[in-house]
Structure 1
Amino acid sequence: MTTTTRWLPGLTQAPVIRKAALAVAGLAMAGGAIAGPVAAANAAPATAGTAASVQQERGNGKGAGGKELDFHYKFQETYFYCAPAATKMALSALGKDLSQDELAKKLGTTEAGTNSAIETTRVLTEVSGKGYRTVEIPGDKADQAETDRLRDDVVRALDEGRPVVANIIGTGVDTDGHAHAYPGGHYVTVVGYRDGGNTVKIGDSWSDEGQYWINTDTLADWIASRGYSA
């Protein structure tokens, strides 16, 4: 299993290219998470890279092989912009194009991060006009009912053309065996599902892979103690 840990600025374990970019930007501080459902300030490149738009949707929705939304992927532009980046990716699938700076202002993002999924729900609803809602998984681990609800929420939202934004913390291992570690917290975007919703596709603004698949039960445990916007 390959582990990809995203260390905060100023720590020697950061990937060389991103650590160098942060040094140029003068970001020597180590951002951290606020207790509870608050998102962490996560490391990011000082100059954001832009990837091509991703795969078109497949299948016809629930039980029909899955679905992937067409969206625009981009790295987060500062080490604490994970929520603006995740929200921007979600909105791109809905035909909305706001900058990460604009979204950071709407989300109330600071160098300490973005407070919770309540903020991403509010901004997604405001900008898209769609009916997003916040769902919390309050315990340290998701139970079966919470996992089943997440699966249903993801399938429903993606079938409606709405990506899901999740506030996660800790380590999640994707279907290729790569571990994505965010000990202080992070935000990711759910942009696809397959196997009836048992596996979901993640857009991750601070991952070497950028996009990867993860089991829904793993995602539910990754969200545990926080929440998601669906």
Structure 2
Amino acid sequence: MKNALSRAPTVGIAAVTAFLVGAGTAHAVVTPPPGITTRSTRIAQIAQITQITSASLATRATSILPVAMPRSYRLKLHEQYQWTNYYCVPASTSMSLSTFGVKVSQDALARKMRTTTRGTGGDTAASVIDDYLHPRRFDDRVVGDVVDHPELLMQRVSYDVGSLRRAPVIQVWMERLPWNKGKLKGQWIGHAIVAYGYNQQAGTITVFDPWRPTGGTHTIPASALARTLQSGGGMHYISRL
């Protein structure tokens, strides 16, 4: 099966909590009028300052705080199956980028990622993804702390999907996915899928697998998905710059 993500090393363990920093809006300063200030004029000035400051603070809060994270959420995703046996990374990346409003073909991504018949290197994919995300003030990092850690995997997917409203690429061992059990020969078959939904109460994550024979939309327990992740880099974690 040549649908593999190459086993090139992927590094970069991110901190558990992502801090968001927004540009914000500078506080407006009201210049006092010259001459004698009457009591009524001073009251009007105070009211104006209060109004401007409140509006400024509201703007800053909006730019700094993420969208409230719901207990469950599913994005609208432009679903795609991979065009070749070895296009799983370009296909999943194209779907992920579509949640940023970016439309780019699998072929274009494959050229940028130097995809071969052996697959695509994880670090190369992250670099290409960042070329699209950084101008939009987002960052993509390959993290391995989610491997065999379903609670952290659920936390990271919930943040990306529920708060940022973006779909991260997930790097898995293809033969370990439940829907491929007994259907594939071989071990350590690297593969890429995309996560675009979750339900914290049920403990499940919804993914789209671009491999047409067995793929499509699947909802899987986070505990099961965590066991399929590639060691050293199971998820392309999205955060704000």
Q: Give the TM-score category using the shorter length.
A: 0.5 to 0.7
What is the distance in 1 between the residues matched to 2:68 and 2:220? Answer: 18
Q: Which residue of 1 aligns with 2:204?
A: 199
Gaps of 5+ in 2: 11-66
Q: TM-score by structure 1 length?
A: 0.65
Q: Which residue of 1 aligns with 2:168?
A: 164
**Deviation of residue 147 (structure 1)?**
2.6
| 1:135 aligns to 2:139 (yes or no) | no
Change (3 A) 1:32 1:125: closer
| 1:148 aligns to 2:151 (yes or no) | yes
Count residues with an aligned counterpart.
170
Root mean square deviation, CA, Å: 2.6
Identity in percent:
26
Whichever residue aligns with residue 123 of structure 1, its letter is V
What is the distance in 1 between the residues matched to 2:201 and 2:225? Answer: 15
Q: Report Cα offsets for 1:63-102 as digits up to 9, x if no partner.
A: x441111120111111110000000011111111001011
Q: Which residue of 2 aligns with 1:125?
A: 130
Gaps of 5+ in 1: 1-7, 9-29, 39-59
Whichever residue aligns with residue 229 of structure 1, its letter is H
Q: TM-score by structure 2 length?
A: 0.62
| 1:75 aligns to 2:47 (yes or no) | no
**Deviation of residue 172 (structure 1)?**
1.9
Of Structure 1 and Structure 2, which has the larger fraction of its residues in strand? Answer: 1
Contact 1:80 1:110 in 2 (8 A): yes
Q: Secondary structure at the match of 1:155?
A: helix
| 1:110 aligns to 2:116 (yes or no) | yes
**Deviation of residue 179 (structure 1)?**
4.0
Q: Report Cα offsets for 1:124-170 as digits up to 9, x if no partner.
A: 222133222210159xx61xxx3322211111111201111011103
Q: Secondary structure at the match of 2:205?
A: strand
